[in-house]
C-alpha cells in the first residue's frame, strides 16, 4: 500500500511551453467521500486499476496493472463516470525534483485546467510554496477530485 500526498490548484493561464503531454482516459467503478475505485488508460500504453481511500490531500493509494483486455472489459461499467484529459509534466525549478502535473480536461469538463504536485512526505507538502503561475488552491475541495468531476461535472461558480 502506498500513501499519496498531493496538492491541487486551478490554473487559469496555461503556460505556453507545456509540450505535447499524454492522453489519460479514466472511469470510476465506484466513488464516495472515503473510497474510489478507478480504471485508467494512460496514452494507450498502460492500464491500471487504482483504489484510493481517505482524505483529499493525504490518502491511501493502491494501483494494480491491468491488461488492455481487462481494462476494455471494465470500461463499460464506468459509463456516466468518466474523464478525458491530457497530462503535461512540468519540472518545478528549485524544489528538489518536484514536478507539476498539468491536466487539461476535455469533453464535458472542457476549459478546466488543474495542476497537481505530489510529495514524498507531509513536511514537504506543508512547506511547499506554489509558483506564481499556479491559481487558487482546491486541495481540500472535494468538488475538484477527479471522481467527483467524473460523476457531477464542473462545480458551480468555479
Q: How far apart are CA 99 and CA 49, in angstroms?
A: 23
Percent residues over pLDDT 70 in the chain: 98
- Closest by CA to 127, choosing from 101, 96, 102, 90, is 96
Each residue's pLDDT tens digit, 10-29: 997 788 888 889 999 999 99
- 28 catalytic? Reply is yes
What total number of domains does the chain contain?
Answer: 1
Marked catalytic residue, from 5, 8, 25, 28: 28
The DSSP output letter for 143 is G
Q: How far apart are CA 74 and CA 125, in angstroms?
A: 34
pLDDT recorded at residue 93? 80
Taking a C-beta distance cutoff of 8 angstroms, is the pair 115, 87 a contact?
A: no
| Residue 156, domain member (yes or no) | no
118: left (phi over 0), alpha (psi -120 to 50) or beta: beta
Mean pLDDT of 38-43: 96
| Residue 31, domain member (yes or no) | yes
Mean pLDDT of 17-45: 92
Mean pLDDT of 35-63: 93
| Residue 101, domain member (yes or no) | yes
Mean pLDDT of 104-121: 95
Q: 3-state DSSP call for residue 78?
A: helix
| Residue 158, domain member (yes or no) | no
C-alpha cell at 126: 506543508
pLDDT recorded at residue 12? 79
What does pLDDT average to over the chain?
Answer: 92
Neighbours of 46 (CB within 10 A): 12
Each residue's pLDDT tens digit, 71-84: 999 999 999 999 99
Q: Name every residue whose Cβ is closer than 8 Å to that of residue 56 and which is 6 or more positions away in sequence.
A: 139, 140, 141, 142, 145
Taking a C-beta distance cutoff of 8 angstroms, is the pair 140, 11 a contact?
A: no
Tell me the CATH number at 50: 2.40.320.10
| Residue 157, domain member (yes or no) | no
pLDDT recorded at residue 33? 84
In 3-state terms the chain splits into helix, strand, coil percentages (rounded to 5) of: 20, 45, 35
Q: How far apart are CA 65 and CA 37, in angstroms?
A: 13
| Residue 67, domain member (yes or no) | yes
Residue 61 lies in domain = 2-151
pLDDT at 99 over 90: yes
Amino acid at each position: 500500500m502506498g500513501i499519496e500526498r498531493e496538492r491541487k490548484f486551478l490554473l487559469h493561464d496555461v503556460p505556453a511551453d507545456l509540450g505535447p503531454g499524454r492522453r489519460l482516459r479514466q472511469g470510476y467503478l465506484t466513488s464516495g467521500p472515503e473510497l474510489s475505485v478507478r480504471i485508467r488508460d494512460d496514452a494507450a500504453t498502460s492500464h491500471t486499476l487504482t483504489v484510493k481511500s481517505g482524505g483529499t490531500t493525504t490518502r491511501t493509494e493502491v494501483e494494480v496493472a491491468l491488461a488492455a483486455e481487462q481494462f476494455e472489459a471494465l470500461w463499460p461499467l464506468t459509463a456516466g463516470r468518466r474523464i478525458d484529459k491530457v497530462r503535461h509534466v512540468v519540472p518545478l525549478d528549485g524544489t528538489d525534483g518536484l514536478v507539476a502535473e498539468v491536466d487539461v480536461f476535455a469533453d464535458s469538463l472542457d476549459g478546466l485546467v488543474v495542476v497537481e504536485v505530489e510529495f514524498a512526505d507531509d513536511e514537504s507538502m506543508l512547506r511547499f510554496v506554489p509558483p506564481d503561475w499556479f491559481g487558487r488552491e482546491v486541495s481540500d475541495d472535494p468538488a475538484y477530485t477527479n471522481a467527483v468531476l467524473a460523476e457531477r461535472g464542473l462545480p458551480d461558480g468555479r
